[in-house]
Amino acid sequence: MTTTLSVENLRVSIPLSAGVLHAVRGISFEVAKGETLCLVGESGCGKSLTSLALMNLLPSRAKRDADRIEFDGTDLLGVGERGMARMRGNSMAMIFQEPMTSLNPAYTIGNQLEEGIRLHKGVSAREARERAVYLLEKVGITAAASRLTQYPHQLSGGLRQRVMIAMALMCGPDLLICDEPTTALDVTIQAQILHLIKDLQREFDMAVILITHDLGVVARVADRVAVMYAGEIIESGDVAEIFSRPTHPYTQGLLNCIPVPGKTRHGERLGTIPGIVPSMIGEMAGCAFANRCSYAQDICQQHVETHTVAPNHAVRCVRAEQVRTVAAGSLA
């Protein structure tokens, strides 16, 4: 598979009065054509900032740093803001969490769908309109042509998110970044939207990065998973491998929090992870999860390398092998 995006040692820091907040602390990952990578983690772990950093849409105070961000063979660190603007909405597109507020209330759906393609591809108004209707139909909106003259306030949340998806696909991007695309939607609509993203990915052969805190979503759509904690990727690998043999104590904790039909007995307490996320202000030595981890030892305070524990399965934990053995034992 050809690699669409490859990121090495991405860092995002935000200077605050209390010190520098290291929101993303050196993460590396790749996404290939036609593949879905899920970035999963709890609120504040840096997953949304990661996606904004890729698009270079970070708030002006936040600083982005990386050893390499390569997209379709282009080094994004070297293209500058003008170069990024040429790619944004064109070869890389993004869908946001809040469909209710992500569309401009003052312009029609058609206007907002068409402006990107007219800018990037220089197509005529008619061609842009045809493409908009085609994509609105693709994302399952009925009476697509008449929707073009409607305003965002005339559409429901689910419809608006479909419009956002159609908008992201207007220029036929190679990479689609979806930042919690279903969080603000009803459960039934969530399932439809996820299904839609998956279908469209297959049809247009895109690389998709899907950001979520919902492991149910991950299980549904991901090919590969990267679990983030406190600005780092602590475990990554194929989705089946991560769900069947979670190795990092944090990933195990997360999976323990989910009730499993048929396995979790009625009235049984679900798992929790004790403690709280450490402050991300200032430098952090050793494993960020150590203060909440039942496997923690003195060695965890030292620098942690990422270990490969199986093909396509990497874990950032010095005790990965032991944890894996214990976990395998408890499962047996």
Partner 1 sequence: MLIYTAKRILLAILVSLTVSALVFSLLYLSGDPATALAGERANEADILAIKAAYGFDQPVYVQYFKWLAGAVQGEFGNSVYFRLPVIDLITERLPVTMTLGVCAMAFALLLSIPLGVLAAMYPNSLIDRAALLLAVLGQALPSFWFALMLIVVFAYWFPILPASGSDSWEHFVLPTIVLGYYATPAFMRLTRTGLLDVLSSDYVRTARAKGLRPAKVLFKHALRNAIIPVVSLAAVQFGFMLTGSIIIETVFALHGAGFLAWESISRSDFPTVQAVLLLFSWFYIILTFLADLLNAWLNPRIRVA
The two tokens of residue 206 are 């895109």
Stretch in the footprint of partner 1 (CB under 8 A) among 28-36, 87-95, 209-217, 267-275: 87-95
Burial 225-250 (b: 16+ CB within 10 A, else e): bbbbbbbbbbbbbbbebbbebbbbbb
Stretch in the footprint of partner 1 (CB under 8 A) among 104-112, 136-144, 231-239, 322-330: 104-112
CB of 184 to partner 1, least distance (A): 11
How far is residue 170's CA from residue 178's CA, in Å, rounded to a whole number? 15
Q: Pick from 98, 135, 95: which is nearest to 113 by CA?
A: 135
- Whose Cβ is closer to partner 1: residue 64's or residue 324's? 64
* Candidate residues 33, 63, 86, 245; the one interacting with partner 1 per rule CB under 8 A: 86
Q: Pick from 105, 150, 114, 118: which is nearest to 132 by CA?
A: 114
* Candidate residues 14, 79, 119, 255; the one interacting with partner 1 per rule CB under 8 A: 119
160 is a contact residue toward partner 1 (CB under 8 A): no
CA angle 46, 283, 80 (to 5 degrees): 55
96 is a contact residue toward partner 1 (CB under 8 A): yes
Q: For 80-156, where are the E strands, in sequence order? A: 92-95
- Whose Cβ is closer to partner 1: residue 32's or residue 100's? 100
153 is a contact residue toward partner 1 (CB under 8 A): yes
101 is a contact residue toward partner 1 (CB under 8 A): yes
116 is a contact residue toward partner 1 (CB under 8 A): yes
Other CB atoms closer than 10 Å to residue 275's CB: what's the count? 10
* Number of residues in contact with partner 1 under rule CB under 8 A: 28
- What is the chain's Cα-based Rg? 21
93 is a contact residue toward partner 1 (CB under 8 A): yes
Q: Which residues bind partner 1 (CB under 8 A)?
A: 55, 57, 84-90, 93-94, 96, 98, 101-107, 115-116, 119-120, 151, 153, 164, 167
